[in-house]
Amino acid sequence: MCIGVISDPKPFKNLRNQITPEIFKWIGGRTDPHPKGKICELTIYLILPNKQELVMYFKYGSESIGPPPEVSQLVIATVELTDPWYGECKAGFANQRK
């Protein structure tokens, strides 16, 4: 895990647009009773402006349907947003080890 500070909050404001009312219906846990393939687990934490923490948890098989489309889209958008930062962070750690 890499922890740091993103200097430009604008991309995260754009990410908030991905958090639609449809996302909130998935708060809580969902487990596929008949998962197919390797077991996968996805946990998403949302912290609201009032500091309330909401959690979504999905457990499914790698060959199962997986999380609902709106949740999958949120995860993909988050990875795309943070991937450049994560790459820089990993490179920084690799340079420290040399």
Decide if 18 is inside a domain: yes
Q: Which pLDDT belongs to residue 53?
A: 93
- Kindly give the confidence (pLDDT) of every residue in the chain, 98 residues in length, as a single tens digit, with 9 standing for 90 and above: 344 555 566 767 778 888 888 999 999 999 999 999 999 999 999 888 898 999 999 999 999 999 999 999 999 988 888 887 777 777 766 666 66
pTM of structure: 0.75
Overall number of domains in the chain: 1
HSE (CB half, 13 Å, CA atoms) of 98? 6
How do strand 28-31 and strand 53-61 relate by DSSP bridges?
Answer: parallel
Decide if 5 is inside a domain: no
> Could you tell me which of 71, 77, 46, 48 has the C-alpha nearest to residue 58?
71
| H/E segment holding residue 87 | helix 69-97
Decide if 61 is inside a domain: yes
